[in-house]
Amino acid sequence: SERGRGDLALMEMLGANTVRLYGNDPRQDHTGFLEEAHSRGLRVIPGLSDWPFTQMPGSCSFTGYNCFEQIKEAYVQNLRNGWLREDGTYHPALTHVIVVNELDLKLPGMHDPISFTRAAVSAIDGMLSAEEEAGMTGAPVNFTVTFAFGICQMCPPGAWGQNHKPGLNQMVILHQAMLNPQVVGYTAQNDLAACFRTRWTHSFNTQNAAHELPGLFFDAYAVQFPSTPVFIGEFHSAHPPRDQAEDMSNIMQITDTVSAMLGVSFFEYQVRYDKGGAEMSFGMFGLGEYSFRDMDYHGSIFPVWCLTPVSTTATAASLPDALAAVFGGAAVDPQALCTPDPAKVPLTASGFEEVRQLWDVAKMAIFVERVVRHAGG
């Protein structure tokens, strides 16, 4: 936000029009984030947390992969914490909600599509009941389940033929279950078929290069789901390293030519130091050595480090600049990313010293103006 590092402003500058979110905490008020995103023309696609699916005591993995009650409770909290406005309509920044990310890998896994599909349709059913309980009115957002790009041999075949396609056969059984939940042993409380017809979008994650996707997915998808929109929730082919500018340009050409394709979310914004290993290959920003401030999150204090653009040997420009060139945005100034911001430094002696060391009269004027306003002048 404007009070912090300014990530949404940076995304806007790069030319992005949508931000996909992970790690949803339904106890938090989401209004400020949604308002900031909306003011910058950014659409928001949040995803529900894994907590009610696999981690909390009494998660769906302990209730026969029937997730209705767990997800209904979580979704009601989200709706009441900013996803719905006072008049009951969805916040205008919200366009899609990811029911669950890569459930085919964890609920319980690719070997049991009946169970992971039951988890999906029961969760969707719970979300529909949550909307009713929270008093949702007006146009709804679209729901989606984001599948992994793995082959589900135990899933039913599709209209394109007997050969299984990564991600796509999972969508086939999900579609069947939304039309008739009994096929996965579930009895729905809401009209899931109507949900699929009127507010459904498919999505998947992939580390494959753009040129591989028509044969692996899109050609068959056009046969199976000619009128159902789809987007790529994670796109970044990093192994082996390749020219990301070229790959992003290729995937945007596919987006322009495949009628059902909505777009891609480049994976990912910041390097995941907490995961380590190969998972650190995807972030386009690393962390620098300057901290804007400390953040208190549920009693734990975290420094908010500045960002540094990531570069790779296979891409001439840094990853943010390569993305900006494809999205029609602006290149970043690496030095500015880790420079004290006179509009945000604390109004203290240490904040004054940070600005003084910039040797910039205009920036000092910004700081002094804040001090005067703070003093009531």
Tokens representing 181 are: 């939940």
CA distance linking residue 305 with residue 171, whole number of Å: 39
Q: How far apart are CA 277 and CA 155, in angstroms?
A: 31
Radius of gyration of the chain (CA): 22
pLDDT (average), residues 1-13: 87
Reported as a pLDDT band with limits 50, 70 and 90, residue 83 is very high
Q: How confident is the model at residue 313 (pLDDT cuts 50, 70, 90)?
A: confident
Identify the CA nearest to 151 among candidates 162, 174, 167.
Answer: 167
Specify the 3-state DSSP secondary structure of 71. Answer: helix
What is the topology classification, in CATH, of domain 7-334? TIM Barrel (3.20.20)
What is the rounded distance in angstroms from the CA atom of residue 256 to the CA atom of residue 202?
A: 17
Convert the pLDDT of each residue in 155-169 to its tens digit. Answer: 999 999 999 999 999
Mean pLDDT on 2-13: 90
Report how far residue 47's alpha carbon sits from residue 156's, in angstroms, rounded to the nearest whole number.
Answer: 26
Cβ contacts of 343 within 8 Å, gap of 6 or more: 2, 366, 370
Confidence of residue 298 (pLDDT cuts 50, 70, 90): confident
> What pLDDT score was predicted for residue 1?
57
| Rounded-to-integer distance, Cα 364 and Cα 341, Å | 10
- Where are the CATH 3.20.20 domain residues in the chain? 7-334
DSSP-assigned states of every residue in 279-319: GGGS-SEEEEEEEEEEEEETTEEEEEEEEEE---TT-SS-H
pLDDT at 239: 79
Q: How far, in Å, CA of 73 to CA of 130, rounded?
A: 7
In this structure, what DSSP letter does residue 50 have? S
Of the pLDDT bands very low, low, confident and very high (cuts 50, 70, 90), residue 336 is very high
List the structure tokens of 260: 């059902």
